[in-house]
Each structure stands twice: as structure tokens, then as C-alpha cells.
Amino acid sequence: MQSFTLHDVQALVGISRPMVNAMVAAGVVAPGRGPGNQYRFSFQDPLLFRTAHSLRIANVPARRVVRSLKKLGALDTGRPLTGIRMTALAGTAAVKDAHGQWHAETGQRLIDFEAAGTSAAVITLDTLSTSAAGTGGKVLF
């Protein structure tokens, strides 16, 4: 079975050593030990480190990244953490599944209020000038 050293993981992913240490300390990853007591990471671990590093690049604080991954690891989703799609959303980690997005730390569903997908034109009405005309200055609703 192939394993990776800390140096290998840093070279492959670009993740910092403090972030790796925080994930190991939180139990998000459980590396084995190699010669000289150095960390030996499994094939799946660099994928998880890549997710964590991507969240950090998107300005999600390291504590939130680790907390979110730890919380997700405790859930019984039936699949490994590497099989869960995570994205950064306003400084937090969000998980996307078949039912939509939800906040990784709290489990609350996230509702997308963006109107980007609408094809209808948005029309702005000047109700005061059109409604007040011919009504003696009163606005009728």
C-alpha cells in the first residue's frame, strides 16, 4: 500500500504544516508512523488535505475548517470524508448533497436567494409618478 510523508503531502497539496498538525490533533486524519516516527499518510489523506487547503485559500479560518471536517467525520453518511463535496461560503464551509447545501458546522440548510437562474426580465416601476397622476397626488394601491 502506498503511503505519503508530510513532505510528500506538502509538495502535492501545498498545505501548511500547522494545518496538517491541527487536522491530526483533531482526529480528522489518523496517520501511521514510519521510520524515525514520521507521519505516513494513506492514499485518501492527500484528497482530504486538498479540500482543507482549498477552503483555507477561500479565506475560511483554519479552526472552522478543522471543526467542520471533524463534525462531518462524526456523521454517519455512509461514505468517506473524501466523498463529500465541500465549498467555501462567506467564511464558512458548506456541504453540497442531493438535497442542496447545508452548513458543515451546524447542519443547517442553506437557501440560495440568488436570482441568477431566472430568465424573466426585471421591470422597475415608478409607482409614485404613475399612480399619483390623475388622483390628486394620492397614491392608490
Residue 44 main-chain phi, psi, to 5 deg: -75, -30
Domain ranges of the chain: 6-132
pLDDT over 90 (residue 31): yes
If you average pLDDT over every residue of the chain, what do you get?
A: 82
Share of the chain above pLDDT 70, in %: 77
Locate all alpha helices (DSSP H) within 1-141, ordered by sequence. 6-13, 17-25, 45-57, 62-74, 127-132
Query: In this predicted structure, what is the pLDDT of residue 10?
Result: 94
Query: In this predicted structure, what is the pLDDT of residue 62?
Result: 94
Query: In this predicted structure, what is the pLDDT of residue 139?
Result: 52
Tens digits of per-residue pLDDT, 86-120?
A: 888 888 899 888 888 888 888 889 887 765 555 55
pLDDT over 60 (residue 63): yes
User: Rounded to whole angstroms, how far apart are CA atoms 4 and 130?
Assistant: 71
Tens digits of per-residue pLDDT, 1-15?
A: 688 999 999 999 999
pLDDT over 80 (residue 47): yes
Band the pLDDT of 72: cuts 50, 70, 90: confident
Longest dimension (CA), the chain: 90
* Overall fold of domain 6-132: Multidrug-efflux Transporter Regulator; Chain: A; Domain 2 (1.10.1660)
